[in-house]
Amino acid sequence: MKKGFTKGLFALMLSIVLILAGCGSKQEPKEAVQTAATKAAEMTSYAMTSKVKIDNLSFSSAENSEDMAMFMSMLKDAELTVDGVFQNDPMQAEFTLGIAIKGDMEMTYNIPMVMTTEKVFVKVPNIPMLPMPEALIDKYIELDMKKLAEEEGVAWTPGSMDVAKSQALTNEISEAVLAEYDQDTYFKNLEADAVTLPEDVEAKQIVQFAITNDNVKEAITILVNNALPKVLDIIAKDEYKEMLQLTDEDIAEAKESLTATDQSQMAADLEELKNYLTINTFNVNTAINKDHIPVYQEAIVDIVINDPETEEVINLALTGTNHYSKINETPEFVIGIPAGYDVVTMEEFEEILNEYYSY
C-alpha cells in the first residue's frame, strides 16, 4: 500500500472521528443555555410559533365568591398563540395573534399584524360582541409610530421599532440573569425523550432550568441582589435606552430603589413566602440544535398561592412554548405590507367609528 494513500486514509478517518466527536459533544447545561441566548440574537430571519395555554385556574375563599370562580373557570383551557415571520434587514415582521376561550362561552379570535421600521398595521377584528362598521371589516388600521410619537411630544427613533434589537435585549438580559444562578442547583441536561419536540426540531442538547420550593427563596434573592442590577446596566446602554424611551434619570431612579432594598425585611418576607406559595412545577426546558440555537423552549408552571389570613387559594397551571424554524432562510410573508384600499389611517378609523356609533 502506498504511503500517500495510507496517510490520506488516516487523515480521512481522523476527520470523521473529529466530526462525530463534535456532533456528540455537549456543553455544560448552564453554558449551553448562555451560548444559545447569544446565538438567538444573531438570527437574521425566522418563522416563529408561540403558545401559552392555561391548563388549570381556580379560585376559592371562605366567602366562596361565585363571580370570581366563574371568571377563573372561563379562562381555564384558554390559549394565546402568536404565529409569525420576521426578517432583520429590511425590518419586516408579520404576526397573527390568536385568542381562544373554551367552555360555555367558547370564542376564537385571530388578529393579524404587520410591522415595518416606522409603521404597524393591525387588522380590524370581526367580533360579534363588538359590532364594527362594514367599512372597517377586514381593513388594516395603519399606525404611524413616528407621527404618534411626535403628537405625544416624545422623541421617535427607528430603534424603538427594531424587533431584532428587542430580541437582542431579551437575550442579553436572559444571559445576564442566568449567569447568576448556580449550575448544580438550577440546571441539568435532560434525555432526548423527556420533552415532546415538534417533528422538525433536531435537538443536540436539552437543558432544564428549574425552581422548586427548596430554592425559590434563594432564587428571588439572587434575582433582586445580583441579577437586576446587571439588567439595569444592560438597559442603560445607549441602543436599548433609546429603544425603550428611557432617560438616565429613569435608570438612576430604578438603581436607587434597588440599593434602598431593606435586606433584613426582604429576608423576612421570603421566609414567610413558604406559607403562601407552593411550587409543584416551575421548569423551563430548552432544546438546542447543532448550531447552538434554542429552536424550541417550553415553560411548565404549576403553583398554588394560599393566603392564610383571607383563606383565598389560587391554583394556576400553564404551559408556554416557543418554536423557531426556517432560521436565516428567505422569509415567506403571507400578508405582505398592507396598502391602498385595504388600509385606513387612525384618523379615518376614528371618524368611521364616531359616525357609526352616533346613530
- β-partners of residue 293 are none
| Nearest Cα to Cα of residue 217 among 180, 262, 265, 271 | 271
**What does the pLDDT read at residue 168?**
80
CA distance linking residue 334 with residue 114, whole number of Å: 10
Instruction: Please compute the mean of the pLDDT values over residues 82-87 and round it to a whole number.
Output: 94
User: For residue 333, is pLDDT > 60?
Assistant: yes
Q: How would residue 286 be classed by pLDDT, with cut points 50, 70 and 90? A: very high
**Measured between alpha carbons, how far is 175 from 20 in angstroms, rounded to an integer?**
29
Mean pLDDT of 188-195: 92
As a whole-number percent, the residues of the chain with pLDDT over 70 amount to 88
Under 8 Å between Cβ of 288 and 294? yes
Top pLDDT among 327 and 61 is at 327
* Sheet-wide strand order for 140-144: 187-190, 205-210, 277-288, 294-307, 312-325, 45-60, 79-87, 92-101, 107-116, 119-123, 140-144, 343-345
pLDDT at residue 326 tops 60: yes
Strand 92-101 versus strand 140-144 pairing type: unpaired
Q: Which residues, other chains included, contact 233 with Cβ-Cβ below 8 Å and sequence gap of 6+?
A: none
Lowest mean pLDDT among 124-128, 331-335, 352-356: 124-128
Q: Is the pLDDT of residue 205 over 70?
A: yes
**280: part of which helix (H) or strand (E)?**
strand 277-288
Highest mean pLDDT among 141-145, 283-287, 309-313: 283-287
pLDDT band at 7 (very low <50, low <70, confident <90, very high): very low
- Calpha distance 291→173 (Å, rounded): 21
Tell me which of 250 and 4 has the higher pLDDT. 250
pLDDT score at 6: 46
What mean pLDDT comes out for the span 330-345?
A: 91
Calculate the average pLDDT of the chain.
Answer: 84
Give the model's pLDDT for residue 157.
Answer: 67
Note whether 287 and 294 are within 8 A (CB).
Answer: yes
- pLDDT for 241 equals 83
Which three cell numbers mark 131?
A: 359590532
Instruction: State the pLDDT confidence band at 22, using cuts at 50, 70 and 90.
Output: very low
The model's pTM is 0.83
Side-chain-side CA neighbours of 41 within 13 Å: the count stands at 16
